[in-house]
Amino acid sequence: MQSFAQNQAPPGESAQVLRDNGQIYLVVLVLLTIFAGILFVRSRMERKLSKMEKTSKIHK
């Protein structure tokens, strides 16, 4: 009976392949972009919340 599963690479070999091809930089760039986006959205939300808190304190 044949198995059609992919061959499992030893741990660390896939990272080495990415380094050899120069694609590790692309992976790092994508991760940094996602992280920066999350920080940007969080900071904007914080500013909007602080504005809402200030206006709600004025009207009370």
CB-based contacts of 18, cutoff 8 Å, min separation 6: 24, 27
Per-residue pLDDT at 5? 55
Per-residue pLDDT at 37? 98
Phi, psi of 2 (to 5 degrees): -95, 145
pLDDT in tens, 2-60: 555 556 667 678 778 877 888 888 999 999 999 999 999 999 999 999 999 888 876 65
Q: What's the whole-model pTM score?
A: 0.62
Residue 24 exposure: Cα atoms within 13 Å on the Cβ side? 11
Extents of the domains making up the chain: 13-59
